[in-house]
Structure 1
Amino acid sequence: MLSVGLSALFIVMLSSYSFASSDTPGKVIAGWVEKISIKNQSYALKAKLDSGAKTSSVHAENIELFKRDGQRWVRFQLLLEGAEGAEGEIETLTLEKSRVRRVKIKEHDGDHDSRPVVELDICFDGRPYAVEFTLTDRSAFIYPVLLGRRFLAGVAVVDPEVTFLTQAQCR
């Protein structure tokens, strides 16, 4: 009787596993931390993959809002870590991007922070993606990039036991 019960339990577990794996066609299995790159840059950024965050964010410095031809733009700097073979080197990349919108982010202390959102072309798992990022000071965090579920939803399944499974540069 015990073996019948264990067999039934095994079948239920196996069927739920096959359902989960069939639900992820075309998605890459990624670790909870991966490296990404800004398209056409050889420098990488470490990114925490966080399905609890809705929107992706990136550490940006010297954020300046301005208008160009009546449109809202943002000038900011990203600090990029060393490329392959050049670990330890830091390059400052100054970018100007049109502002997609502003978002209000609820902080842990209950306050709200208003952040500009821009679209950046990144490379993740060797493929290019256009991703919306909030610009913020993430210097208090270990990882300068947080990839949220708006990006992850159609792209990756996160394995929380591993890191660095994907390729940062576009092929």
Structure 2
Amino acid sequence: MKLLCLLGSLSLLMNLAFAEDKRIYGLHEHALLVDFNRPLEAKLDTGAKTASLNAQGIKRFRRDGKSWVRFYLDNEQAQPIERPLLRTSRIKRRADDYDEEDERGSSARPVIALSVCLGNRLQQIEVNLTDRSAFRYPLLIGSEALKQFSALIDPSLEHVTGRPSCAALSLAE
């Protein structure tokens, strides 16, 4: 019996140590795209694998023999943003985004790396670019990026971490 109690206590301590590094986030959080000093609203979605950012006028091009992508964060932005293309991802289309003439059932999206701040945590995450103008939240943060933030999501909460405060932090921390 003592051994069983000892093992139970050890298991509880290990779980507490594991949870200590985790941070609770709400379903929606304030985010900062550090690379552009651009605050925006984000939806944290454990059902999505990847992160998606609203981008307009997406164009791929070559620079010094490498693939790049040029885009605007919104239609009113004067200067385009240019970033190296990491890869292209295939994203399964939603039921309301299905095109009968396109039988693939998925769309190809360019993926770039961005530094994103949530609360006081800064992470470089992979983000696919797509037109999210029909959605309320211009940034969707999926499960792969949420793992990097050591996130626990409570969907009953919003804006738990407050305004992003990563200005003095570096990715190495």
Same fold flag (TM > 0.5): yes
How is 1:75-94 mapped onto 2 (pairs within 5 angstroms)?
75-79=70-74, 94=80
Q: 1:68 to 1:91 in 2, by over 3 A?
A: closer
Matched, 1:70 2:56: no
> Which range moved further: 21-30 or 67-76?
21-30
Q: Is residue 35–residue 114 contact of structure 2 (8 Å, CA) maintained in 1?
A: no
Matched, 1:98 2:93: no
In the TM superposition, residue 62 of structure 1 has moved relative to its aligned partner by 1.0
In the TM superposition, residue 38 of structure 1 has moved relative to its aligned partner by 1.2
* TM-score normalised according to structure 1 size: 0.76
In the TM superposition, residue 105 of structure 1 has moved relative to its aligned partner by 0.6
Q: Which residue of 2 aligns with 1:52?
A: 47
From 90, 93, 100, give the equivalent of 1:107: 93
CA RMSD between the two structures: 2.6
User: For structure 1, which runs of at least 5 residues remain unmatched after alignment?
Assistant: 1-15, 81-89
Q: Is residue 123–residue 148 contact of structure 2 (8 Å, CA) maintained in 1?
A: no
The list of structure 1 runs, each at least 4 consecutive aligned residues, that deviate by more than 2 angstroms after superposition, is 16-25, 40-43, 90-94
Q: Which amino acid aligns with 2:31?
A: I
Q: 1:78 to 1:20 in 2, by over 3 A?
A: farther
Q: Which residue of 2 aligns with 1:4?
A: none
Q: 1:77 to 1:107 in 2, by over 3 A?
A: same
The whole-number CA distance in structure 2 between the counterparts of 1:17 and 1:94 is 51
In the TM superposition, residue 27 of structure 1 has moved relative to its aligned partner by 1.8
Q: Is residue 54–residue 133 contact of structure 2 (8 Å, CA) maintained in 1?
A: yes
Q: Is residue 79–residue 93 contact of structure 1 (8 Å, CA) maintained in 2?
A: no
